[in-house]
């Protein structure tokens, strides 16, 4: 499963940038964001029908 992770602006909460990662990478990114006090928003990407 893949997720979109958006880094949020500290002032107004708007998305500053985003990246798409696999499920195995989510925990590492959350830990890094928590360590520096960064606000992030994570949402699952819809899988495309094949």
The model's pTM is 0.81
Predicted confidence at residue 47, as pLDDT, reads 72
Q: How many distinct structural domains can be found in the chain?
A: 1
- Is 50 inside a domain boundary? no
Non-local (6+) Cβ contacts of 27 within 8 A are: none
- Is 49 inside a domain boundary? no
Predicted confidence at residue 10, as pLDDT, reads 92
* Residue-level pLDDT, tens digit, the chain, 50 residues: 999 999 999 999 999 999 999 999 999 999 999 999 999 999 999 876 55
Phi, psi values for residue 42, rounded to 5°? -120, 130
The CA-CA-CA angle for residues 29, 32, 27, to 5°, reads 35
Q: For residue 1, which of 29, 20, 28 has the smallest C-alpha distance? A: 20
Q: Look up the domain containing 28 and give its range.
A: 2-44
Predicted confidence at residue 48, as pLDDT, reads 65
């Amino acid at each position: 499963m893949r997720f979109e992770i958006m880094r949020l602006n500290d002032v107004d909460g708007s998305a500053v940038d985003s990246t798409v990662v696999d499920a195995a990478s989510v925990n590492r990114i959350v830990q890094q964001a928590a360590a520096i006090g960064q606000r992030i928003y994570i949402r699952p990407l819809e899988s495309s029908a094949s």
